[in-house]
């Protein structure tokens, strides 16, 4: 089963119960004080010839506010009866609301949550779903947010309840459940989503998620991470458009940094959007069609054409075509927007 979890401000149950209990006690004390100050206007059947004492006032207030009303202590003067009508009765109403307030709040919260979820589903389209909110999922989301993706265009899917709490705390919508299940991805509105980022810890789980998502939305762009390079072809066959091999990439970075420390630092800065350099892509302008890539963009490092990456010294890159994308390096603090 899946559960939509929207970001909201929450109070602990202990805080809510304590605050209501203290307010109810305050009302009881207030009513006791009102009755005791006008004790001459009340008659206690147990001691009809004596004014009610403090204990009797407290007892009368308790049974009156709880609407028990045994009738052994009653107001007899016009002033006492008027106070009961104009003061004690409104206090009784407030007291009863406090007693049933938790039930009312739960019902109201469920109704309000159902309305918010329905409105959220009706408005959500073209969003990005992130399956798995571990280290890889957080890093992917951080990059997306840095690139300008709004928080309301992201849906996180994770099976861990504590993760859902963290997701909501960060102002994001979360879907609690197993992303390999159709109903869970359906709750994330995968049919209307533009992209799916698979960042789970197991390669077999990533394959199942890709298969399920591709069945539900044949047009969605799926970007997935796998731990082992041998699982990359299987994930592509399952419907992933782009696959990142995390262990292989990390290993190559380690080897490169060992043999060429300077290049390792450069690649490290390229991967960190906040430092030094940034990789970006932009579409070819109409005026650049037919030009060599380095003439159109001196800082270019590659050309993307029809899903294939061409090096800048490739013969095919010497004439840019309509629909090409130029990949270039720029300073991170003033780099152009990503597509």
Question: How does pLDDT run across 62-92, given as a tens digit for each residue?
Answer: 988 888 778 888 898 989 899 999 999 999 8
pLDDT > 50? residue 339: no
Instruction: Considering only the C-alpha atoms of the chain, give the largest distance between any 2 of them, rounded to a whole number of Å.
Output: 114
Domains of the chain: 13-101 (1.10.287.70), 125-249 (3.40.50.720), 277-339 (3.30.70.1450)
pLDDT value of residue 241? 92
Average pLDDT over every residue of 3-15: 61
The residue count of the chain comes to: 339
**Highest mean pLDDT of the ranges 2-6, 8-12, 25-29:** 25-29
- Residue pointed to by tokens 């939305």: 217
pLDDT value of residue 191? 93
Using an 8 Å Cβ cutoff, are 181 and 215 in contact? no
pLDDT value of residue 221? 94
- Taking CA atoms, 238 is separated from 183, 210, 332, in Å, by 19, 6, 35
pLDDT value of residue 334? 46
Q: How many of the other CB atoms lie within 10 Å of CB of 46?
A: 10
pLDDT > 50? residue 184: yes
pLDDT value of residue 297? 86
pLDDT value of residue 8? 58
Virtual torsion, Cα 76, 80, 85, 86, nearest 10 deg: 170
């Amino acid at each position: 089963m899946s559960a939509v979890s929207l970001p909201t401000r929450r109070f602990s149950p202990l805080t809510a119960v304590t605050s209501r209990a203290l307010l109810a006690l305050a009302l009881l004390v207030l009513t006791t004080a009102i009755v005791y100050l006008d004790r001459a206007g009340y008659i206690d059947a147990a001691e009809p010839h004596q004014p009610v004492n403090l204990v009797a006032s407290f007892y009368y207030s308790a049974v009156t506010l709880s609407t028990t009303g045994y009738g052994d202590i009653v107001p007899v003067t016009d002033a006492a009866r008027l106070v009961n009508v104009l003061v004690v009765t409104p206090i009784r109403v407030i007291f009863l609301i406090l007693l049933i307030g938790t039930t009312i709040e739960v019902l109201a919260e469920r109704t309000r949550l159902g309305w918010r979820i329905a409105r959220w589903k009706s408005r959500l389209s073209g969003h990005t779903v992130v399956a798995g909110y571990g280290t890889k999922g957080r890093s992917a989301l951080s990059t997306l947010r840095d690139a300008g993706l709004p928080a309301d265009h992201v849906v996180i899917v994770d099976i861990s309840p504590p993760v859902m709490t963290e997701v909501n705390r960060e102002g994001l919508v979360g879907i609690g459940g197993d992303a390999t299940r159709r109903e869970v991805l359906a709750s994330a509105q995968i049919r209307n989503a533009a992209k799916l980022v698979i960042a789970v810890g197991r390669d077999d789980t990533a394959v199942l998620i890709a298969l399920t998502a591709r069945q539900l939305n044949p047009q969605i762009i799926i970007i997935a991470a796998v731990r082992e390079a041998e699982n990359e072809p299987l994930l592509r066959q399952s419907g992933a458009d782009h696959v990142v091999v995390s262990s292989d990439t990390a290993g190559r970075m380690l080897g490169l940094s060992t043999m060429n420390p300077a290049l390792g630092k450069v690649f490290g800065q390229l991967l960190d959007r906040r430092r030094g350099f940034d990789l970006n892509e932009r579409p070819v302008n109409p005026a650049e069609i037919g030009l060599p890539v380095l003439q159109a963009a001196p800082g270019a490092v590659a050309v993307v054409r029809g899903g294939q990456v061409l090096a800048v010294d490739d013969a095919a890159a010497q004439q840019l075509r309509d629909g090409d994308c130029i990949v270039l390096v720029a300073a991170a603090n003033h780099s152009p927007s990503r597509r």
